[in-house]
Structure 1
């Protein structure tokens, strides 16, 4: 380890740099020049005159923002198209029911208990994947059921839960407009994602 990192000040300074780097990596753009970032950071900290005019920086920021938006729009369109095709093919499978809303479900186990209402709170086990099969969330993996109000989840779940008797296990195929739509859900679920859930309704509480 370099001597500069053997002091509290050096370690804290490096930590600041790491945090800034992590934030930048999470909100970066294609072609970013780290050496230019370092120079800009150093010049600003030391109060030096900017080597790039404010006008040129603003033009550059606008151009980069437009590029990022274009990439996001193309990715969203592709995800939406892929989801629509998946649902069209899936809806043709035997045993898959397609509702007027576009929600699809497949009964794995049919329970014989009561059905929750819109204002009910339920306990469930669930396993959520993208249409690729990649898992994004799972109470099954965590080993702990989830409790929530029927009215407080995505629209596809709200609709399906009111049709499910307690003791049922269904596979839900949720179109993007009944899931997280154009906004997605943070870093976990991209915009316009069609989602697949295995949902077991354990109880109404």
Structure 2
């Protein structure tokens, strides 16, 4: 059984806890077919269900905020791939715009993922923290700037700046390099100031 576990090419650290989770997840249980399995991404490796729900696919959680190196971020992407490919028929992905009084929002790993055209569930959910009417396009323009910057610097958008930083920019609307330095730090502020201040000034004047 250990040999089978190792040969699955498990992502992440292979240790006793990971092995135990895999054994529990793959054991034969006398439970009804309509039961629910609650597993970590690691433990789901090698298994399949008709329907899978991936909860909390948010910025800061997927990839996790502690993944600070390229290797760690690649590992998070591998884990997400494991989770997203466990469904044989239906895959549901959920995320919150806010969690524990902080801005969250959709995981950047979901960008470009083909989604169902059925928006019935989205229409039934209330939308909170609506964008102020006097700032109809600022967040969109900042998001576009982040995406383009990521492409030119060979980075993922969340590596350029997080959704929380975008929210800070919309809320505070910095007017100088010094204002940006409060958010980004002095070196990054000087680098991003020409583009960001132009975007913010355009919306401030509108």
Q: TM-score, normalised by structure 1?
A: 0.22
Higher strand share: 1
Q: TM-score, normalised by structure 2?
A: 0.22
- Structure whose CA Rg is larger: 1
